[in-house]
Amino acid sequence: MNEFAEAPHETLNLAGDAIGTDAAGAPVLFGIECLDCAAKLFPPADVCPECMSEKVARLALSSRGTLYSWSLVHAAPKGWTVPYIAAYVDLPEGVRVFAHIVDADPAALAIDMAVTLCVRQLGIDENGAAFTSYAFAPAPEGEG
């Protein structure tokens, strides 16, 4: 039995098959590992963009990472909650993930600060339904 379950779809999940949950219900990001060149990548794909091999395996990624860079965004597609923090997060597997940073004051962010994976509502579609995706939040004090 696979220890990971697909994420529930009560709302539109913008991450698709890139996110699921572990046995405890915590969010997990999925990337791929190329079985030919060993590249680890996110988001998942059917072909390795490094060597073009189709021999790839689904890879559960760490839920903790470090903040590489970020920007405060004030303009977004209709329905997105603004402003928001767009960022790159480095994971221990050597994968850099583009994501929102949530539950943070932009002035308090720092390069290399510890962040943890979460799922958040990012906006509302034209029918009034929420849409969600993965995001990262600053790690609690003392963790990192």
pLDDT digits (tens, 9 = 90+) for 98-121: 999 999 999 999 999 999 999 999
Confidence (pTM): 0.85
Strand ranges for 26-113 from DSSP E: 27-34, 40-41, 56-60, 64-73, 84-90, 96-101
Q: Position 140: which residue type?
A: P
* Predicted confidence (pLDDT) per residue in 71-104, tens digit: 999 999 888 899 999 999 999 999 999 999 999 9
